[in-house]
Amino acid sequence: MTKPVEGFSKLSKEEKIDWLSVNYTRTPETTQKLLKSYWNTDSDVQRLHDEFIENTVTNYYVPLGIAPNFLINDKLYAIPMAIEESSVVAAASKAAKFWLKRGGFSATVLGTVKIGQVHLIYKGTPKKLQLFFDEIKPNLIQSAASITKNMSKRGGGITDIILKDKTDLLEGYYQLHCTFETLDAMGANFINSCLEQFAKTLKSKAETSTLLAQNERHIEIIMSILSNYVPDCLVRAEVCCPVEDFNLNDSMPANLCVQKMVQAVEIARVEPHRAVTHNKGIMNGVDAVVIATGNDFRAVEAGVHAYASKDGRYTSLTHAEVKGDQFHFWIEIPLALGTVGGLTSLHPLVKLALEILDNPSAKDLMKIVAVAGLAQNFAALSSLITTGIQEGHMKMHLMNILNQLGATEAEKQVLVQHFKKKSATHNAVVDAFEALRNSQ
């Protein structure tokens, strides 16, 4: 039985690998060789990666692909996408090519407000707490001046602080609901630093307040933390074209394609089971660009899915309609992104991805990411309402299956050719592979 380890974080990387492979794998030497094979040959680059997180033993690679031909607000982009799922980059590229011939994508940032909260418990009179807050609000903002100084010079900073009474949800529960403008930074550290200072100042001022009775001066600070739900940090991306130009393939007339596309989006709007998968496809595109540009895809995911539920039920993030003779397709999603700070200035591939995107501002990156999500959804729906999702997806997945089967390069060439006009289901690929092997 494996025993708990003491001081694991203090071991060298080699020692960590030795301990891990001996205690948790069947073939320690093979494990050690595998882990070390993913180390970067440039020791300086590897040291940089090692310091991103704790207890690093190796690098975990995710492919970085490029989806070209994205025309966004009349500017042509090649979009970097970091993702492991087959067909995502191909689908985005196909959508970009389709809309390139129809005027491209347009995108607009609707808001950039980010949120943080100080959560507290107060057992006194609500009106007195409000009067106390109104009196000290300027002090709260002033107390964070040293933190906000540089951000304010660039035009950002604290935009407001309000006191929210949440006692209908939890006894004694109030919060300082704070809003911020963080410009090109995602701003998590900035926001959290401000919030913690607000909490200290609030508690200190309460202890000497003449507005609060002696027994009301104890305010219990539970926590101070930013929120990843940012419904007012919003971006809209859209496409439109005449209905007669919406010809997805030769076997279905354009007006029927439009009709089925609108109905498919409506189904995702009213049916949560479909909406989850519908939105997951959107996030294939969103997450891939978020990861490639060094942003926090977990925060984005959480905020986007909360936004999809903002009206009391989980629903589609995209919308489609016909106005006159025009087909319109659009998305509105909250995206708190940064192009400075964090990994954006540390990870070599993140820096390269941002360079490929012409070093965008945070607002520009919001537009690009929203477009990637819209394109991904368009590509998925286009397949679903015409040939079905599996025809294209399984052809892209073909190489993964062949690699799992241990196919040689020569066998891969034969089988890729074989499945050009056939459905590449897993069983069909296995059968064709075994038949090819037997024939040899």
- Among the residues of 106-184, which ranges form H helices? 126-143, 145-153
Helices (H), 175-244: 188-207
Q: Identify which of 69, 116, 113 has the alpha carbon closest to the alpha carbon of residue 92.
A: 69
Quote the CA–CA distance of 115 and 179 in Å, as a whole number: 5
d(CA 160, CA 180): 7
CB distance 386 to 120 below 8 Å: no
Measured between alpha carbons, how far is 150 from 336 in angstroms, rounded to an integer? 20
Q: How many whole angstroms from its chain centre is CA 435?
A: 43
Considering the candidates 280, 305, 351, 412, report the single residue annotated as catalytic. 280
Catalytic residue of the set 205, 296, 364, 395: 296
Catalytically annotated residue among 13, 18, 49, 85: 85
**Residue 161 burial class via C-beta count within 10 angstroms: exposed 0-12, middle 13-18, buried 19 and up:** buried
Q: Find out whether 231 and 307 touch, Cβ atoms under 8 Å.
A: yes
Closest C-alpha among 112, 113, 116 to residue 177: 116
Q: Rounded to a whole number, what is the distance in angstroms from the first to the last CA of the chain? A: 48
- Give the Cα-Cα-Cα angle 422, 428, 429 (nearest 5 degrees): 95
Q: Which of 16, 94, 119, 393 is catalytic?
A: 393
Provide the β-strand partners of residue 43. Answer: none
**80 and 360 Cβ atoms separated by less than 8 Å:** no
Give 107's strand partners. Answer: 237
Distance CA 420, CA 415 (A): 9
3-35 as b/e: b if 16+ CB within 10 A: eeeeeeeeeebeebbebbbeeeeeebeebbeeb
Tokens encoding 300: 């984005």
94 catalytic, yes or no?
Answer: no
393 noted as active-site residue: yes
The alpha carbon of 231 is separated from its chain's Cα centroid by a whole number of angstroms, namely: 15
Coil, helix or strand for 226?
strand
Quote the CA–CA distance of 190 and 180 in Å, as a whole number. Answer: 9
Residue 321 known to be catalytic? no
Q: Which residues have C-beta within 8 Å of that of residue 326, sequence separation ≥ 6?
A: 240, 241, 242, 243
Tell me how far the alpha carbon of residue 298 is from its chain's centroid: 6
Catalytic residues: 85, 280, 296, 393
